[in-house]
Chains A and B, each alone.
Chain A
Amino acid sequence: MEYIISAPKKISIGIKELWSYKELFYFFTWRDIKVKYKQAMFGFAWAILQPLVTMLIFTFLGNMLSIPSDNIPYPVFAYSGLMLWTMFSSAVTNAGNSMVTSSNIIKKIYFPRLIIPVSSILVAAFDFIMAFIVFIGLLIYFNIEVSVFKVICFVPISVIITIIASFGLGSFLASLNVKYRDFKYIIPFFVQSLMFLTPVIYPVSVLKYQWAKYLMAVNPMSGAIDLTRNAIINNSLNLDCFLISVVSAIIIFFVGLFYFRKTEAYFADIA
Chain B
Amino acid sequence: MKPIIEIQGIGKKYKLRGQEMPYLTIREALLGKNKNKVKNEFWALKDISFDVFQGESIGIIGKNGAGKSTLLKILSKITPPTEGRIIARGRVASLLEVGTGFHPELTGIENIYLNGSILGLKKAEIKKKLDQIIDFSGVEKFIDTPLKHYSSGMQLRLAFAVAAHLEPEILIVDEVLAVGDAEFQKKSLGKMEEVAKQGRTVLFVSHNLSAVKTLCRRGVLLNNGVTEVVGEISDVVDRYKHNINQILKTINTDYGVFDLKNHKNKIYDKNYGMQKVTTYCDGKVSEKMYSGCNFKFVVNIKDKEIKNKILFGFVIKDSEGESFIGINNKHKGIELISDNNEKEITVEIQSLPIYRNEVFFVDLFLGEINCNYDVITEAFQFEIEAVDIYESSNLIDLRYNKVVVKEINFYLDEK
Residues of A bordering B, CB below 8 Å? 1-8, 23-24, 26-27, 31, 34-35, 38-39, 104-111, 178-182, 265-266, 268-271
Contacts and interface: CB of A to CB of B under 8 A. Distances in A.
12 contacts: A4-B86, A5-B85, A5-B86, A6-B81, A23-B117, A27-B117, A35-B106, A38-B105, A104-B100, A108-B96, A180-B25, A180-B26
B372 interface: no
Contacts, number: 105
B309 to A, nearest CB: 43
B118 A111 contact: yes
Interface in B1-43: 14, 21-27, 29
Interface in B64-97: 73-91, 94, 96-97
A94 to B, nearest CB: 16
Contacts of A111: 118, 120
The residue in B14, B26, B82 that gathers the most chain A C-beta atoms within 10 A of its C-beta is: B26
B88 A3 contact: yes
Interface of B: 14, 21-27, 29, 73-91, 94, 96-97, 100-101, 103, 105-106, 110, 113-114, 117-120, 122-123
The residue in B23, B74, B114, B122 that gathers the most chain A C-beta atoms within 10 A of its C-beta is: B23
A108 B97 contact: yes
A108 B78 contact: yes
A24 B126 CA distance: 13
A110 B27 CA distance: 31
A182 B103 contact: no
Given A31-B103, A181-B25, A8 B97 contact: no
B79 A108 contact: no
Contacts of A269: 14, 22, 79
Given A7-B81, A27-B117, A108-B78, A268 B100 contact: no
B78 A268 contact: yes
Contact of B113 (A6, A7, A27, A182): A27
A105 B101 contact: yes
A111 B115 CA distance: 13
A4 B85 contact: yes
Contacts of B26: 180, 182
Nearest to A36: B105
Given A5-B81, A178-B23, 14 more contacts: A1-B89, A2-B87, A4-B88, A6-B86, A23-B123, A27-B117, A31-B106, A34-B105, A35-B103, A108-B96, A108-B100, A111-B118, A269-B22, A270-B22
Contacts of B88: 2-5
A171 B79 CA distance: 19
A24 B117 contact: yes
Given A24-B117, A109-B119, A180-B29, A2 B89 contact: yes
Contacts of B25: 180-182
Nearest to B21: A181
